[in-house]
Amino acid sequence: MEKERSRIFGLDLDAQTRCAHWHSALDIVAIRMKCCGVFYACKDCHEALADHPIQTWPRGEWNEKAVLCGACGTELTINQYLDSDNRCPACGAGFNPGCRGHHHFYFESA
């Protein structure tokens, strides 16, 4: 699990992937960016640290593991994450339901 977290980039990261931008108890998801294949805590961290714009994951690739639970380190496919009812299917940790409002930054719109 520690190996997984060491691959996450962001500003002021804590042990569960919260960052300077999103740091509530439920902000424990990191996203593998389609553009570079690197996990970032959020789009704002990517914008601050990467030298390129974000690309969204196309629907045809939603079976790729691109979401990481900061509580247990489990990597989820995009479909698993979107169907998770805001809980990690592996450990039961809660995810921020407000993140739904940001999905369009990461995942192609339906």
**Cβ proximity of 51 and 93 under 8 Å:** no
pLDDT of residue 6: 61
Q: How many CA atoms lie within 13 A of 41 on its CB side?
A: 26
Q: Give the pLDDT band of residue 79 (cuts 50, 70, 90).
A: very high
Q: Which neighbouring-strand residues pair with 94? A: 87
The edge-to-edge listing of strands for the beta sheet with 8-9 is 8-9, 39-40, 29-32, 65-69, 75-77
Which pLDDT tens digit goes with each residue over 4-62? 556 899 999 999 999 999 999 999 999 999 999 999 999 999 999 999 999 999 999 99
pTM: 0.91
pLDDT of residue 7: 86
Angle at the Cα of 14 from the Cα atoms of 72 and 65, rounded to 5 degrees = 40
